[in-house]
Amino acid sequence: MQRVTPATLAPPQAALTEVQWQTFAALAEAVIPSIRSSDGPNCQILSEGEIEASKKNIRLTTKPDQVKSDLEDTYLAESAAASDEFKEYILRFITYFADPEAKAGLTFILNALNNRAGSLLLTGRTTPVTLLPLAERQAILHEWSNAYIPFYRGLFRSFTQLACIYWIRTSPTLGKLLTYPYTPINHSFGPGFPFEFHQIPPSSSVDDVEELTADVIIIGSGCTGAVAASILSAAGLSVIVADKSYYWPPEYLPMSELNASQNLFHNGGITQVDGGLFSIVSGSCWGGGGTVNWSASLQLQSAVRKEWARLSGLPYFTSPAFQSDLDAVCHRMGVSTSSIIHNSTNQVLLEGARRLGMTGKAVPQNTGGEAHQCGYCTLGCGSCGKKGPTETFLPDAAKSGARFLEGFTCSKVHFTTTSPSTRRATSVTGLWTSRGTDAHPHTPGTRTRRVRLTGTKAILLASGALQTPVLLRRSGLANPHIGAHLKLHPVNVLGAIMPERTSPWDGAILTSVVSDLENLDGHHHGVKLEATTMLPGWFLPNFPWRGARDWKEWCGRMGHAVGFISLARDSGEGTVYEDAKEEGRSRVRYQVCEKDGRHIATGLEALARIVWVMGAMEVRICTAGVPPLVRGSGTEEEERSRLEEWLGRYVAPLVKKGLPKRDAQFASAHQMGSARMGNSARTSAVDGDGRVWGTEGLYVVDTSVFPAASGVNPMITGMGIARGIARGIVKREVGEVGRARL
């Protein structure tokens, strides 16, 4: 039976003053207003004919036997700002997840919009936003969206995206309208593994430090840390795996979209790149990204292996040893294509590509060789059918004696000096936070203790490409390649409404790929075309808000939707650094370069052709200024001409010049390269053994070490490299005797 995830600590009401909240609510109401045919306060009034037309558009893509007309009326009449839950989660976002700069900027804007001078500057009107009629507030949003000055377009994106995300995730009627089940149909819970976590006793003094010691300390329980733990513990080394996050047993999974964003992901589900045009998604839970990813298990391609070997000066990437490491992790997780059943979205991609003469293929899945028909794995896999770290490598490590510590936020690596140019890592320190008195994370009754974890042989960092560089910098390491060269596999999303019902949240998420466009520059930079997660709160907010009526119709038709990503192997790169005002918070500077933007646009063009040849009724991409393409009632040739006209007018300029840096919404679920591996400290952050240059005993085993972008989901590559690094540590610390157990 599904267990309910308890509510985390409520946000303080002081996150916004009441006046600030009323200003925010006035704009949120303009984004998601009550739409009615009769007059009412703060309503968007449509004629009876317009209301019926909207209901008809929605009704064409819902289940007639399950959706009644009064539910359509209720849905259209729903206002985001009227919901207490909407307010609560907006305040949670501002309190816990917005960075200090974003908080300060938001409150400044809200204050300015509430006085005559500020309103005049920001809206061209002397009346505060809260006193303006709904139509005027909506006009302001449209003016911001079309403004020449990027600042105003940024205001438009910030307010519309926040309102849309949290309305979708808190709406009491959208799920009913779509007949979207909040847990998978016919879901059954797997047994899980009975993890045991070290509990630190209370102390009477805040200065007391709890000391724990092992041969090896691993910071991070995700895909790479788990592999390293299994190898090292199997060789007879004592291991402690520590993670800032917590374990959730199968009976809590999948969580709701709201609960998952706060309990399974870093920073509430979204890390915004500086400038707000790029959203990064990364897991933060016991098992890391392997708990919330989509099972895609592609190995690094030959051309990229050769490039990595050349860039890094390390022959490992083209060696049989690397292939053996990749094969070993795949074997443990039962990676294969043998039992895949493609859902509607993946079928559209494969068949549409075939009709256009492109090549689609199945994506191997880490599901133990069995079918896994779950579209909710983004929210955690309660069936245990996905064989991520919590089902494989972490249990293996536990059986070999590894100890586990959840709720430990590592703040620093400590060293002893061994020579003028070298320091040996000896321990890490940080803060441990217990579960609450109800035995759940982030609930009342938690307590904290300062903790030191001493590793007598090695300290391994597996915190991910956004966290590891910040920890290294905070520990006093100054190599310029730490935090540099960040690769993100930027994507833009295409969505389409199909004539038949797709129930796109049903079935395995990413089981197909089209790779025809993966080498657009002759250097193996290009795009892969893949399916994306189709949970409403993750898919719909990618698309620009074009108006309240249009938005509600678009969301209400998602039962017939399919969605895809154009994913670039990026040639551009970014930087990870620590927020100057909040210790431990990672910040990211990254702009999609023109070449990568052209490649992504080329992928969107191909995706549009794929869905159109499959009969799509409507096509949208996540770029401002590009209107939807809507199928008419013409002949096949006329509709093909309609597609070509739309592509020529709106997409061809993007293919030529790249997606606009300030008006396209990019996303990333892959982070790599921010502590890259190489054969010299002049060109890299870690050596070929994963050891941080200028140190002894300190290793990085996560995707930070990638010499460049992988071009495929980084899970398998990262796990293979982690296995190779761990094997090397065993050979140095245990000797050849340890090899038989690997």
Among the listed residues 648, 611, 652, 650, the one whose alpha carbon sits nearest the alpha carbon of residue 628: 650
| Per-residue model confidence (pLDDT) at position 736 | 56
Question: Is the model's pLDDT at 57 over the cut of 50?
Answer: yes
Helices of type H across 356-485: 393-399, 468-474
Q: Give the pLDDT confidence of 255-297 residue by residue, as tens digits.
A: 999 999 999 999 999 999 998 889 999 999 999 999 999 999 9
- Give the SS3 label for residue 10: coil
Return the structure tokens found at 422: 């070298």
Overall average pLDDT of the 587-616 stretch: 98
Radius of gyration over alpha carbons of the chain, in Å?
Answer: 26
Percentage of the chain modeled with pLDDT above 70: 98
Half-sphere exposure of 45 (CA within 13 A, CB side): 7
| Per-residue model confidence (pLDDT) at position 15 | 87
Among the listed residues 380, 428, 652, 672, the one whose alpha carbon sits nearest the alpha carbon of residue 535: 380
| Per-residue model confidence (pLDDT) at position 69 | 66
CA pair distance 329, 723, nearest whole angstrom:
8
| Per-residue model confidence (pLDDT) at position 92 | 93
| Per-residue model confidence (pLDDT) at position 67 | 52
7 Cβ neighbours under 8 A, 6+ residues apart: 443
Overall average pLDDT of the 579-598 stretch: 96
| Per-residue model confidence (pLDDT) at position 39 | 72
Question: Is the model's pLDDT at 122 over the cut of 90?
Answer: yes
Q: CA 533, 538, 544, 549: dihedral to nearest 10 degrees? A: 110
Which range is least confidently modeled, 35-44, 389-398, 643-652? 35-44
SS (H, E, C) 144-191: HHCCCCHHHHHHHHHHHHHHHHHHHHHCCCHHHHHCCCCCCCCCCCCC
CA pair distance 284, 304, nearest whole angstrom:
28
Chain-centroid distance of CA 607 in Å reads: 22
Amino acid at 479: N
Question: Is the model's pLDDT at 64 over the cut of 80?
Answer: no
What are the boundaries of each domain within the chain? 13-178
Overall average pLDDT of the 448-460 stretch: 98
| Per-residue model confidence (pLDDT) at position 187 | 80
Question: Is the model's pLDDT at 720 over the cut of 70?
Answer: yes
Give yes or no: 266 in active site: no
Overall average pLDDT of the 547-551 stretch: 98
Q: Model confidence at 65, in pLDDT bands (50, 70, 90)?
A: low
**Which listed residue (266, 440, 481, 670) is catalytic?**
670
Element (H, E) at 139: helix 134-145
| Per-residue model confidence (pLDDT) at position 738 | 43
CA pair distance 105, 259, nearest whole angstrom:
27
| Per-residue model confidence (pLDDT) at position 63 | 64
